[in-house]
Amino acid sequence: MAHIVLDQASVELAVYNSRGRALKSEILRRTVGGGLQNDRDSSIQVVKALNEVSFEARDGDRIGLIGGNGAGKTTLLRVLSRVYPPTAGRATVEGRVSSLIDLSMGMDTDATGYDNIEMRGIMLGLDRKQAQAIIPDIEEFSELGEFLSLPIRTYSSGMMLRLAFAVSTAVHPDILILDEIIGVGDAAFAAKAEKRLHSMIEKASIMFLASHDNKTIRRFCTRTLWMKSGRLVMDGTPDEVLSAYGEDISR
């Protein structure tokens, strides 16, 4: 049903034009986790946010991603979400992907809540009819009532998040991509959101979850990948990988 193969996949991201910026360049070199390097003509500074990463994921895999700030976790999730194509190597992602990393991506602030449900639904891989069919579920879950008929620029940030979360979780994917398990909205809504997320995790064939919290990784994952400076340094069970990572950061 779902299958992922990364073969020596790399992603290089341009940071800025570096000519005459020696101090900034040195500061960046020291602070970014990804390997910072110059391209061939030395005019553009690039970060190798992902560096020759290879692995395979199959049905049933619940994969945790760990690593320090700037290690490449979000970049890897964006490759799996088909937001970034690899700049070298290959990434094959088979199955419908739903990513909760860029929740409001593709939403138009001048359009109404209803129009945004349809647009975002289509972005998540539905056709127009299927996108319209998820509306009753979103009306009920988001509790936004009459606001759904108004442009979303009139929403508070909490209301916006409710809508974005409701739409992104209305479609059951084969591959589910998460960056931390975040609380959404006030306490009552957060409890409802957590329940909906857990059911989504159970139903997905493959799940990826980037987290800095060991407890979360142990609770939801059966396998863990440790990223460092854009490279995959270890792939194993949560216990063995978290223990090696713990030793590495305490050194």
Q: Which of 73, 96, 162, 231 is the binder for ligand ATP (CB under 6 A)?
A: 73
Strands 88-94 and 3-17: antiparallel
Phi, psi of 162 (to 5 degrees): -55, -45
**Nearest distance from C-beta of residue 180 to ligand ATP, angstroms:** 9
> In Å, how far are 34, 74, 237 from 234, measured between CA atoms?
17, 17, 10
Dihedral sign for Cα 218, 221, 222, 225, please: negative
In contact, 54 and 6? CB cutoff 8 Å: yes
The backbone torsions φ and ψ at residue 244, rounded to the nearest 5 degrees and listed phi first, read: -65, -40
Binding letters toward ligand ATP, positions 75-114, x by CB under 6 A: x---------------------------------------
162 binds ligand ATP per the rule CB under 6 A: no
The smaller minimum CB distance to ligand ATP, of residues 65 and 124, is found at 65
76/166 with CB nearer ligand ATP: 76
Does the protein bind ligand ATP through residue 121 (CB under 6 A)? Answer: no
Under 8 Å between Cβ of 97 and 173: yes
Contact region with ligand ATP (CB under 6 A), list: 63-71, 145-153, 201-209, 215-223: 63-71
Q: Is 1 helix (H, G, I), strand (E, B) or coil?
A: coil
44 lines the binding site for ligand ATP (CB under 6 A): no
Residue 175 CB: number of other CB atoms within 10 A? Answer: 24
Residue with tokens 């854009």: 230
Q: Taking the complex as a whole, how short is the minimal distance between the CB of residue 15 and ligand ATP, in angstroms?
A: 5
Among 10, 51, 67, 161, binds ligand ATP (CB under 6 A): 67
Using the rule CB under 6 A, give the single segment among 32-40, 103-111, 127-135, 197-205 that binds ligand ATP: 32-40
- Using CB under 6 A as the criterion, which residues of the chain lie in contact with ligand ATP when the complex forms? 13, 15, 32-34, 47, 49, 67, 69-75
